Chains A and B, each alone.
Chain A
Amino acid sequence: MSLKAPPELIVFQQMADVPYNWSLGREGSLFLIALRDEKKFLGIKCPSCGKVYVPPRKVCGPCFTANSQWVEVGDEGVVTAFSVVNYRFTDPATGLPREVPYTFAFVRLDGADTKLCHKLAETDPARLKVGMRVKAVFAEQRTGNIEKDVIHFRAVQA
């Protein structure tokens, strides 16, 4: 033993950055094509229990049945839960802090049984409530991307 305690701790820093190309599958693709080309939301229905999934997926988990029928759902719906996000954190898609505040919400579109995750235009908690009706605000230029083709959902005046 001929060394003293180290004068410092060495810490290695790295920005890990791994690109991915995630396939959307036939269901996800068809949904996004309809959103991009026709500003329409599609749901996919389980032939067994009748549940309408938005966003779409191939399998109804509880039934273990392939969803097989497309239905058009509304571009309006109900906020089932929300949270105004004020705290800072790293967005793992960019490695940078995500811009806050923003409102994260689960929206059940009219005619759907499951909820879509998206953002709300309003960030004042006093003007938000569970059960409020909201409508999608579409981007002018759409590319088949749920984040960007729908800018956010905004409140519908009763």
Chain B
Amino acid sequence: MTDFQSGVEPMVYSGRIRMPYQWSAGETGSRFFTQLRDYGRIWGSRCRVCDLVFVPPRKVCGRCLNGIGEWIELPPAGVLQTFTVVYRHRPAIHPADPPFAYGIIRLDGADSGLIHLLGEIEPGEIVSGLRVQAVLKEKRERRGDILDIKYFKPFSA
């Protein structure tokens, strides 16, 4: 190939994809979020065929594809399955300044884990297996989304 254009200053076009989206939570998700917002309750759903309780709730079991009709209220407490303390600073997406922690929490009675933030604990004190409980936002601040739960903190009876 010829080098008839060697020495060209390579140019870059800086642009973006900026688009408004609106995702419906559907009837099942809306039930979950309105219950969380209005009553501070966390609901899961149980597949009777697989005998599994899912949080977040499902309209259909992803394993057997049967419809799930059974709702189960779950206590706002469970066990930390795993966690990470995030030290990267990405304000464009992260919900908090570093260091902050994510965890996967298995609520008592559930067969799947809920991902959320961890709070009211020093990073060095977080361990897998810790019992944690949900801390909700004040009712007037709750908007019907996953951040109506502020975070999970170490369980205190």
Which residues on A are within 8 Å of B, measured CB to CB? 1-3, 5-30, 32-33, 66, 68-70, 90, 92-95, 144-145
Contacts and interface: CB of A to CB of B under 8 A. Distances in A.
Contact of A68 (B1, B9, B23, B144): B1
Nearest to A20: B15
B18 A93 contact: yes
A92 B8 contact: no
6 contacts: A10-B25, A16-B20, A19-B15, A24-B12, A30-B8, A33-B8
Given A5-B27, A10-B29, A93 B10 contact: no
Contacts of A93: 15-18
B108 interface: no
A63 to B, nearest CB: 14
Contacts, number: 121
**Chain B interface size, under 10 / 10 to 19 / 20 to 34 / 35 or more:** 35 or more
B23 A11 contact: yes
Contacts of B8: 26, 29-30, 33
Contact of A22 (B5, B12, B145): B12
Nearest to B18: A95
A21 B12 CA distance: 6
A6 B4 CA distance: 67
Given A22-B12, A24-B13, 4 more contacts: A3-B35, A28-B11, A92-B19, A93-B16
